[in-house]
Amino acid sequence: MHLPRILLTAVLLTGIAACGNTSNSQDETPAELTGSGPATLWVRAADEPLDKALVAEWNAKNPDRKITMLTVPDAQYVQKYVQAVRGGDAPDLAAVDIANVKSLTSQGLLTDITAQLKALPYKDKLAPAGVQISTVDGKTYALPHQLDVSMLYYNKGLFTKAGLDPAKPPATLDEVVAAARKITALGNGTYGFAFAGNCAGCNAYTMLPYIWASGGDIMNADGTEATLDDPAVAAVLNAHKTMWDEKLMPDSAKDDNGATWLSSFQGGKVGMVALGSFAVSVFKADPKIDFGVTPIPGTSGTSAFLGGDVIGISKGAKNAKTAWDFIAWSMDLEVQKTVVAKTGQLTVRSDAADNPSTQAEPRLLAANKMIADARVPVTAKYNSLFIDPTGPYLQFIRDWVFTGDPAQAIDKGKSGFSSRLAS
């Protein structure tokens, strides 16, 4: 009768001892990454093209440890991945949305690659915000993989017509409003400014930088509380409200859920709009529009949101060595300058920013240089607060800019943010 209990105790003790071993070895010298067989990689649908190109190149060079790629719908990525890791069926590599990497690191689902990162001679040249957001208590779990930054696009033709210098885009929020007035004054259905007023994600990506560039933030440092009465928030939303009230933006801005975010500017009747760097390759194909890009300005400087993916190795990956070799190879200077830059993507290394592709398209070079100062909002509730169309952030903006009631916006926003943060 006692035998099972003894056995159980033995098993438990072994288990505890095993846990102790691994955690010790992680504290001092990280475990050597092992397993050099063929590996698997998960990417989210929106960012599939770059990884397709990378994997094809890798597989051609490494026929005996090929990588198999699986594309997962963006909205289901985190939950599918968590289930896969818990079910012991995780991919070796996970390329995950930068804004969601906290959901994975907070659950301890990724392998510590701090030592590998330290050994990289170019570690200081990797997109800082991408490394930072993937680092918890000094340990790094993922590295920048595919990047995009938000920036201000302006129509050079309209700038010239309005008597503004197209070589000197607005450098402060006040200059944005002043330029918008001049461009709108051209008449004939021309508007100085546009933004997607009914799109939560668009405004996370492009309005937060105005706030950061005004020296403030919409959430506290650890992302646990909203700071809606920050003067920087008020400065940015008031500027938008002014432009809405003075009809410096088209009526359709209020209803734009992102569907006409790009096309409104592409039509050539809008002076300025903040968009991701992804739009460069869309607009440059259109000969009708002559546009420039500049960092998103605030009341005291400029800023950008770092979007895209970071890549990490799953906890318990069977082919962790292959996985790391792929990550390191993908960050190689030549690979960045050729494979990555050729697909029209920004490079994850600042020393690869200047390459044949960006020389041919200086606006991408400008975007690439903005990565150094770009930021990512720090919150484990990013989707609930900022991406969900019924979330508190979009409602806050709409109440302030369109309803025109800042006091009510702050009031409702506070309860909205705290209710979703409590979830």
Which residues lie near another protein (CB under 8 A)? 78-79, 82, 86, 103, 107, 198, 251-252, 254-255, 257, 259-260, 381, 383-384, 388-390, 395, 398, 415, 419-420, 422-423
Q: At what angle do helices 392-401 and 200-212 cross, to 10 degrees?
A: 70
Q: How far is the CB of 374 from another protein (least distance, A)?
A: 25
Element of type H or E holding 146: strand 142-155
Residue 362 or residue 389: which is nearer to another protein going by CB?
389
Task: Show the beta-strand stretches assigned E in 322-419.
Answer: none
CB of 422 to another protein, least distance (A): 8
Q: Of the two residues 78 and 127, which places its CB atom closer to another protein in the complex?
A: 78
Contact 155, 290 (CB under 8 A): yes
Helices (H), 40-155: 48-61, 77-86, 101-105, 114-118, 128-133
Shortest CB 40 distance to another protein, Å: 21
Amino acid symbol at 269: K
Residue 329: burial class (beta carbons within 10 Å; 0-12, 13-18, 19+): middle
CB of 268 to another protein, least distance (A): 16
Element (H, E) at 21: helix 3-27
To the nearest whole angstrom, how small is the minimum distance from the Cβ of residue 379 to another protein? Answer: 12
283 within 8 A of 21, measured Cβ to Cβ: no
Shortest gap between Cβ of 262 and another protein (angstroms)? 13
Minimum gap (Å) between residue 390 Cβ and another protein: 4
CA 34 to chain centre: 30
H or E element: which one contains 303? strand 302-303
Neighbours of 29 (CB within 10 A): 9
* CA pair distance 318, 68, nearest whole angstrom: 14
